[in-house]
Structure 1
Amino acid sequence: MADLDALIDALPKAELHLHLEGSLEPEQLMEFAARNGVDIPFRTLDEVRAAYSFSNLQDFLDIYYQGMSVLQTEADFHDLTDAYLQRVAADNVRHVEVFFDPQGHTGRGLPFEVPINGILKALDAAEEKYGITYRLIMCFLRHLPEDEAFETWKQAEPWLDRIHGIGLDSSEMGHPPSKFARIYEAARERGLKLVAHAGEEGPPAYVWEAVDGLKVDRIDHGNRSLEDEALVARIRDAGLTLTVCPLSNLSLCVVDDLKDHPMKRMLELGLKATVNSDDPAYFGGYVNQNFRETARAVGLTREHVITLAKNSFTGSFLSPDQQREHLAEIDRIAASH
């Protein structure tokens, strides 16, 4: 495995499924709470780490939204984003397509411009500081009504030339993609890219809705697609990318054991899977950690790892020319390992 670990470390990669708010490390939570005078129910880092333990998606979301409360200023969002970029630069990540949840902030009284200005300042500096390019994806919280998504859309109007796509996250069960058909149509008309969480806890029917109803460009998670052979064929034939998050799936009990993770099966079925960290501060690892632990658990080969790295770029929203540059570098690195 040492040789495979070295290859994972050396390969350039893109991360396509990352919630910025989910990169809030315990140390940052304590730091931001102190500097903003926010009262949190934790007194030590050990208490925070103990709280970062879950049995399902809703358990996680409860602490996730609680953690957001410490993010109060543009500087907080800048520092959160910059810290994430610094960590993934160490993993040889060259491009990120990151999510943010504006409703999680405007719903507690922050103006829309506070999170997006702080996030964009960090992302705009990332290429010079870390050699990382980016796309920014604005997610809607699916447990809220679609009308509230339209209110957020109006607030986002001044920044739509800086926002590259929209997504759909939060509690999946009981909130099918079809609930947001109108807002997705509005975003499509504006030329934004479309992604949606589907098939993490929700049934294959939700993935069908995301693909054929919302007409997404990419599926976030998609694990339960494998329960439906026709759906697998639909995704494969359309060349849709799955942004898979193995350690997240383990933490949220989507799989009981990482050895049961479907990553290898996805690749063997011809699906365009990728490796991502989702909410790494909560789920125990950034991109390379997800690669390494999954490779060990399910027996990924050198060829699987190279394919996953390539998929991360061909599944991105970079231009074909930009993708080709990264793919050529992957080939060069692979040839030297």
Structure 2
Amino acid sequence: MTALNQEFQLASDTYRTTASIGACLFNGSQIGAELLLKQTELAMYWAKRAGTNLVQIFDPAMEVAIIQRTALKNDLHEAVSGRKFELYYQAQIEGTQLVGAEALLRWSHPSKGWISPGEFIPLAEETGLIVPLGLWVLESACTQLAAWSRIPELQQLTIAVNVSVQQFNQPDFVKQVGDVLRKTGVNPKCLKLELTESLLASDVDAIINKMNTLRAEGIRFSLDDFGTGYSSLSYLKRLPINQLKIDQAFVRDLLVNAEDSIIAKAIIELSQNMGFEVIAEGVETSAHQAFLAEMGCNIYQGYLFGRPLPIHEFEQSPAFLSLRVQ
């Protein structure tokens, strides 16, 4: 590793390289050469996944993890093609009134039970399955919006849909969204697309053009997890967004952590000064809500108002039912 890290010359240029190294311990001829090389290569890829310039010794647990990951990847392919997912909805509250919900993807595996989104979403992104999966989420959410639009007291409810970087960067993404809106007959103003700051690592001008086209149709944009990724005020002033979302990492401890409360307050003031709505996620207690309200944030999402629920349970929640009896 030390030798490979040395500078070297190619013509008049100086270069420096890094290496990912896999190694395997073995005892004489107890393991065949082919298996030995396979295990060493597996260790090398494990080193690459962990970062750069690392050495990794083979451990049998790696092989088990790879086998399990490969099996889950195959199951994910089948689940996407068979649309074996479900959307859960988590309430978004303004003041004390339900104004919408965030659509959250859930997967109940036939033998493993519920698979965490933190496990299958990265796998979907790695395999490219996030693109058809994201389109299914968009279609399902808009179908639900269409159902609500037929009930007068529910017509103003919005649904926020998370859009991955890969999905947004599809050349025909704008057309896909337009096709879904026309197919379902949904009022575009009721659809909110949530983008993460990681999107800003790609072609910002192309992103802004797409956003402007969709916003001209009435679609709203929320910048999710603000302050945790590629935060840049120079980008923020150019992006045609409607809302900033305070990440739950800052909300969770804002009552006991001075730094978190300062960051939350700064995001709220920034939003107000730039004419954005601001919503806080991860609001779990009345104390959280009161503290945020005092700072000027009056739109909330979190366990205080309800956990993510399947649609039939969401529509029986107190916040939802209160709209039906107004």
Q: TM-score, normalised by structure 2?
A: 0.48
Pick the structure with greater CA Rg.
Answer: 2
Higher helix proportion, which one? 1
Q: Which has the larger strand fraction? A: 2
Q: Which has the higher contact order (CA 8 A, sep 6+)?
A: 1
TM-score of the superposed pair, with normalisation by structure 1: 0.47
